[in-house]
Amino acid sequence: MEKLAIFDVDYTITRRETLMEFFKFCVKEDKRNLRFLPRITFCGLMFVLGIYDERKTKETYLKFIHGIEEKDLALLAKKYYKERLSKIFYKDALDKMKELKSKGYKIYLISASPEFYLNEMYAIEEVDKIIGTRFSFESGKFARKMDGANCKGEEKVKRLREVLKKEGIEVDFKDSYMFSDSLSDKPLLDLVGNPYLINYKKKNSGMNVLKWK
């Protein structure tokens, strides 16, 4: 049986929220993308007010890359990883991956962020599998439509189990690890025998808290 070390991404591996960093990177690449800032601010407000759900929020947010050719988005994501995303990792997170990989654990990253740029994190030598929110392409162009559910909460467990079943992998969850900055990941945290919260500031979480830099 395999043992997993599962990591959330935003604020667990990274110091910042990766989708906002992606937008800022795209603005740097093309200043005309600044015109989408009011739209992004608006959809964020609608989410906070409970008017937009996570699907509607992300589909609205990603207007700035709507219609981009799939091959061009792949090149943009690769450049984003190299120039910005790879610069905001917690060193402690990377060290923990190396430590657990050396002990025979498979390293899984499971995040609500889009797979189209998360997949660049396969560049981290220790990473075995990445599971994120999927978006569709139509006629080779980014369609801004979420493919399936937002990969958060219970959906993370569902997606993980789907991957394990498809690949015929049996897991010893009792001896596995999960790292997250948020109790929104409680379904995954509860699944493993070694759950850890990262830089968690609230009291009485009932879980061990690690401080990562």
What is 146-179 written as a DSSP string?
ESSS-S-THHHHHHHHHHHHHTT--B-GGG-EEE
* Confidence at residue 13, expressed as pLDDT on a 0 to 100 scale: 97
* Confidence at residue 206, expressed as pLDDT on a 0 to 100 scale: 79
Report in angstroms the alpha-carbon separations of 103 from 71, 98, 121, 128, 184: 37, 9, 21, 14, 28
* Confidence at residue 203, expressed as pLDDT on a 0 to 100 scale: 75
- The number of CA neighbours under 13 Å toward the Cβ of 111 is 24
pTM flag (> 0.85) = yes
Report the percent of the chain where pLDDT is more than 90. 93
User: Average pLDDT of the chain?
Assistant: 95
Residue 151 sits in a domain whose CATH number is 3.40.50.1000
CA 46/CA 181 separation, integer angstroms: 24
In the predicted model, is pLDDT for residue 50 greater than 80?
A: yes
pLDDT tens digits, 140-191 = 999 989 999 999 999 999 999 999 999 999 999 999 999 999 999 999 999 9
Domain count, the chain: 1
Q: Which domain does 91 fall in, by range?
A: 4-210
CA 101/CA 63 separation, integer angstroms: 38
**Helices and strands, counts by H and E, the chain:** 8, 8
